[in-house]
Structures are given as C-alpha cells and as structure tokens.
Amino acid sequence: MSRHGNGFRTELGSFIVDRRGTVLGFDHAMEALTGWPAVEVVGRNKDICGRFAVENGEAALTGAPLYQGDVRVDACRQRLTLKLGCRDGRLLETEAVSERLEGPGGRARVTVLTVLTLSAADRNRASAERQDPLTLLRNSEAFREALEADFDAASRSARPLALILADVDRLRRVNDRLGRSAGDDVLRRLAGVLRVAVPDETRIFRLVDDDFAILMPGAGRGDARQQAAALRSIVERYRFFPADAAAPADPRITLSLGAASFPADADKPGDLVGRAAEALDEARSMGRNRVWCYLRRPRVPLEVPVFFDGEESLLVGFTRDLSPSGIFVHTIAPIDIGMRCALSFPLPGHDERVHVIGRVVRAVPLEPPAAASRVPGMGVEFERFGGAADRRAIEAFLHRNEASTRRPEVGPLSASS
C-alpha cells in the first residue's frame, strides 16, 4: 500500500457490492490499497474474501472480511465511515461514499475518498518487547536504540537526521470528563492516524503517557517542518469521538509539536532530543496546537561571494545572512526548491573557503521593478559539511558575531487555525 507523508492517504479506490454483500467489482486502486487481488474478492460475499487451500482433502479459506458493517445499496448517495480489512489483517478506517447504480438488482458503487487510520501489524515476540501495549507503536526503549543507530548512520554518511516530538494537548480533560478508557481510546486512534501520515511507521514511537516521537533519517529541518505541519492539521480535523458518543465541550484533539535536526541543531543524540523538547515547550507555552522548530542562534548578517563547488568554481551570488543551519544567497537566478547543491564561500577571519552541501528550501525570483518588494535569491539549508573544520569555522564566526542575547531562539511554523 502506498503511503504519503504530507496528509491523509489520497489514493482512491472503488468497488461494487449488491444488497446481499456480494462483491461484483473491484478496481486496481482497491487492490493496491488493501492488498487483496481481485480474484480473491470478486464474486464472493464481503465476509469471505481470501483464497482457498486444500488441506487433508478439504478446502479451507485463508482470508478475512473486506469491510465491517453493511452498505446501503438503495441510497442515492451516502457518505459513510468504512473500516476496510487488508489482506495482511490490518484495518483501514476510511471515509467513503456509496452511490446506487441504475439497472436491475440492488447494487452500489463504494468509492474510498480518504484513509484516516491504519491499525498495527502483527508482531512477533521479539518485536513485542519493544512495543507499547496500548498503541502498538514502538516504545521508548526502541526509540533510544533507533536514535543511537540513526544518529550513528547520519554521522557516518554525513546526511541529516530530524526529530519531531509531539504532545497531545489537554488529554487530561478527556480523562477527567469521560474516564481513562476514553483517553486510552484517543491514544489508540491517534496511533492509527500517525501510521497513515508518517511514511515509515517503524520510526514512530510512544515515549510516555501522551508524548510521541518521530525520527526522520535523511531529513533536514525543512522536511521536519512540513511533516509536523501536516500532522498538526490532520489530527485537528480527525473526529476522535463518534457522533453518538459522549465528548468534551471542545471535541477536537490537537497536537503541539517541536522539531530539531542534525547537524544544524545538535551533534549528539541527547542534544537532539533536548533541542526538540525545547521547541515543543515553546509550542505549548504559545497556546498549543502549534509547530515550532528549534533555532540555536539568530542569523548573522554576512556579505561574501558564494560559489558552486565543483571542478570549476562558478559565482552564484552573495550571502545576505548566515546561521548554523543555512544561508540566504542573493542571486537573480535562484535554483528550484528541493534541489541539492555544493557551495563554498569565504568567512572573515578564516583562511580558506568553507564547503557545504545544502538543499534549497526557499526561492525568491526576480520581480519586475514596479513590484520589487522582496530580495531575489534562495534559502539553502545545510545538510552536509565538507568536514569538521568547515563546521567549526562557521560556529566560530557566528559565536564572534552573534547578537548580545544568549537565549536560544525557536522559530514558529504555524499557529492554531
């Protein structure tokens, strides 16, 4: 099944069912979505999908229901929440629409619009020891092991590593009003939402109570910012309480999230966790339901030439400012967002150019003179330094030139809607 990291799963799929629950049609997208091949679904009742195997001369079914509940085939158009059974035994909670088909017999076409949650896969005993029993996500011990391994891999490959910490806002109100079991159900549903929204569910962890962590190998601050923003929006929109169930005065469940990355914000695993926690604290203190990214120091003004770093050194433009995590290059020909480039530039007080590889996260094109209100150029986020000496040179320059305040800064991404 395909997975998207920037929101609900968007792959559509359709199937046709009659009033007895017999599946009459099953498209290719449904095959990809559920893992069921059409041959094991079409022509069968929705409760007996699967393949038959002959054992000891008797045919035995190895499968599971296609979906839970019933679909009304006499309704012209009906919006419904449908739980689909996957071939691997997992459940997809989806939003779908059912439409009556013209012609003899009662038939309806069901189209899946979005997938909201995904249940956990079966784990073996060794995996269960690293699994949170409530959410079935990996636990805090598994997080510590994964953090060390991912950090070591990032250091050896000189690739970035991002960490997102998330906290469920005011879950205690749910526990106090509806009981601990209702709060536990919120956490289980939230885990299902995270499995859909995060590309790799093995990098989602429940740390303690209502605190969660997401590791993103190969991702920088910009990637973490986008992922965290998507999570905040998805969770805010999801209906955690069924329409017929008791709910708090404000039925929304929201997340506060903090993000930090290596090498921009930390060079040790413990420091990375600490920096993400600082950003999370800021998100909570500023009203919750927000995403904040850690930023160690303000940008320092700097104007030096920047070159493409290759066999032939080509001038790109001039820097406007520098931070531990990146630079803004003033140029009339910015590179497209997402492109990686090798750059070098001199630093005052340093004998040689420093060398970095970065990703373009912001591009400001040259505007007509009448509308020229922005400086043309591109923001480049550092993903790799040429060597330890290059990193130390940037750190030393920023230390000498930073503003008088010494308080760590965090930068906002989004406020509550």
Give the CATH architecture of domain 125-297. Answer: 2-Layer Sandwich (3.30)
**pLDDT category of residue 6 using cuts at 50, 70 and 90:** very low
Torsion of CA 416, 280, 185, 89, to 10 degrees: 100
pLDDT at 370: 42
Report how far apart the first and last C-alpha atoms of the chain are (Å, whole number): 31
The Cα–Cα gap between 151 and 219 comes to 12
Q: In this model, does residue 309 exceed pLDDT 90? A: no
Q: Residue 414 corresponds to which tokens in the numbers above?
A: 């989004």
Q: Residue 318 corresponds to which tokens in the numbers above?
A: 């001039």
Count of CB atoms situated within 10 Å of the CB of 347: 19
Angle, in degrees to the nearest 10, between helices 180-197 and 171-178? 140
| Residue 28 near residue 40 (C-beta atoms within 8 A) | no
pLDDT at 5: 43
Give the whole-number percent of the chain exceeding pLDDT 90.
46
pLDDT at 51: 72
E strands, 129-178, where?
161-168
Q: In this model, does residue 371 exceed pLDDT 60? A: no
Q: Residue 54 corresponds to which tokens in the numbers above?
A: 């002959």
More confident residue, 126 or 70: 70
pLDDT at 102: 86
Instruction: Say if 13-118 and 125-297 have the same CATH topology.
Output: no
pLDDT at 235: 94
The answer to whether the Cα torsion of 253, 228, 319, 338 is positive or negative is: negative
Q: In this model, does residue 415 exceed pLDDT 50? A: no
Count of CB atoms situated within 10 Å of the CB of 40: 22
Mean pLDDT of 57-76: 78
pLDDT at 414: 44
Torsion of CA 86, 88, 90, 95, to 10 degrees: -20
The Cα–Cα gap between 4 and 200 comes to 10
Give me the chain's average pLDDT, please: 84
Domain ranges for the chain, please list them.
13-118, 125-297, 300-401
pLDDT at 245: 59
Give the whole-number percent of the chain exceeding pLDDT 70.
84
pTM passes above 0.75: no
Q: Reduce the DSSP state of residue 214 to 3 states and report it.
A: strand
Q: In this model, does residue 404 exceed pLDDT 50? A: no
Please tell me the class of the 300-401 domain: mainly beta
The Cα–Cα gap between 106 and 76 comes to 11
Q: In this model, does residue 149 exceed pLDDT 70? A: yes
Mean pLDDT of 132-138: 93
The Cα–Cα gap between 195 and 176 comes to 27
Mean pLDDT of 390-410: 69
Mean pLDDT of 236-265: 81
pLDDT at 277: 94
Span 225-246, pLDDT tens digits: 889 999 999 999 998 887 655 6
pLDDT at 267: 83
Q: From 3.30.450.20, 3.10.580.10, 3.40.50.2000, 3.40.50.720, which CATH number describes the 13-118 domain?
A: 3.30.450.20
| Residue 380 near residue 327 (C-beta atoms within 8 A) | yes
pLDDT at 416: 41
